[in-house]
Structure 1
Amino acid sequence: MNKFFIAVVGLLTVLVVGCNQLTQYSVTEQEINQALAKRNNYAKDLGLPGLADAHIVLSNLTSQIGRQEPNKVTLNGDANVNLTSIFGNQQATLKLTLKALPTFNKEQGAIYLQDMEVVNVEVLPQKMESVMKTITPYLNQSLKAYFNQQPAYVLSEDRSKGEALAKQYAKGIEVKPGEIVIPFVE
């Protein structure tokens, strides 16, 4: 009797997990991080030409999905800044924390990080902090525009059957800790 009960529970578990794969597809933090590493091409020149120019390159992006704030994605990364001004050339690294709202574009089969916002900046070396504070609002606006236009993850029909199904039958997204779930049914 006990073995029969364990077998029935095991069979039901397999059925539920199997049916779950037929009703949704999940994109994990690791998959988002790999896509960001491959697709992130943020490099921008900000400032006043001839007076002060900052060339900024974003790198080392990592995501945390739904962990720090429900329905939000938190990104951590570095912004390497080369500043050219009438006072000479200087370099700094900004350790950034960004937050965004993930959205799904069904036509493109793409997950976007909308309304990106810089929520924390650590400046290295610290002596550059006052200069970088003047650049941060422009960087914030530029990052928001960039991530509104560039997808963080694009579903591919070539990668897996699950992604092909998600691209065809997606009904939106749900943010859960560690993953973005794309349900196929409402």
Structure 2
Amino acid sequence: MKKFFWGLSALLLVGMLTGCNQLTQYSISEQEVNQALQKHNNFEKQIGVAGLVDAHIVLTDLSSKIGREEPNKVTLSGKATVDISSLFGPQHAVMLLTMKAQPVFDKDNGVIYLKDMQLTDVQAQPEKMQGALNTLTPYLNQSLKDYFNQKPAYVLSTDRSKAESLAKRFAKGLEVKPGELIIPFTN
């Protein structure tokens, strides 16, 4: 009988600790971040090098990997369609992009930014366009960095859930774990 009560006590303790975790932090999954990133699909930018080339770029298919490839970083992948007008005539290409950023929580506004976005890999399709697109990459990199420094990747809402409302009010920072962002309520 004592073993039964010890087992029941241990089970209750584990249950309480698991339940308390929800009271001390709020987790945002990769899936939730990816859904929020859909708002950033169709980011458009006109980039040009005076007299040489003019490119219209549209970013789509954004998805994130949180803390999986590099600790405390978010890795984004996406596709950019590029329509180029140059001295050689119009051309069309697709850029497969990989980017890394530092997630930063703005407690006052209840938003998460992806700061210091950096392109880490750019693959051109068709491959023969790689050289031309490499000249546009620094401009695209700066445009994406500016965009994500100003536009939040995720916004906490007091309307969605009580837990999100608590996170917005009592957040003490942001932690990056593989596959999720954690907003702790205590230090």
Residue 110 (structure 1) aligns with: 111
Deviation, structure 1 residue 52: 1.6
Deviation, structure 1 residue 49: 5.4
Tell me the distance in 1 between the aligned counterparts of 2:6 and 2:40: 49
Q: What one-letter code is carried by the residue in structure 1 that aligns with 2:140?
A: L
User: Does 111-120 or 44-53 show the bigger shift?
Assistant: 44-53
Structure 1 consecutive aligned stretches of length 4 or more whose deviation exceeds 3 Å: 48-51
Tell me the distance in 1 between the aligned counterparts of 2:179 and 2:153: 15
Tell me the distance in 2 between the aligned counterparts of 1:40 and 1:5: 54
Deviation, structure 1 residue 30: 0.3
Residue 135 (structure 2) aligns with: 134
Q: Number of residues paired by the alignment?
A: 186
Tell me the distance in 2 between the aligned counterparts of 1:97 and 1:182: 26
User: Contact (CA 8 Å) 2:41, 2:61: kept in 1 or not?
Assistant: no
Tell me the distance in 2 between the aligned counterparts of 1:135 and 1:98: 15
RMSD between aligned alpha carbons?
Answer: 1.2
Q: What one-letter code is carried by the residue in structure 1 that aligns with 2:24?
A: T
Residue 42 (structure 1) aligns with: 43
Residue 157 (structure 2) aligns with: 156
Q: What one-letter code is carried by the residue in structure 2 that aligns with 1:111?
A: I
Tell me the distance in 1 between the aligned counterparts of 2:35 and 2:10: 36
Q: Percent identity?
A: 59
1:100 and 2:101 matched: yes
Q: Structure 2: state its 5+ residue gaps.
A: none
Closer, same or farther: CA 115–70 of 1 in aligned 2, 3 Å: same
Q: What one-letter code is carried by the residue in structure 2 that aligns with 1:62?
A: S
Residue 73 (structure 2) aligns with: 72
Q: What one-letter code is carried by the residue in structure 2 that aligns with 1:77?
A: G
Q: Deviations over 1:75-94 (max 9, x none)?
A: 01101111111221111111
Q: Structure 1: state its 5+ residue gaps.
A: none
Tell me the distance in 2 between the aligned counterparts of 1:2 and 1:90: 75
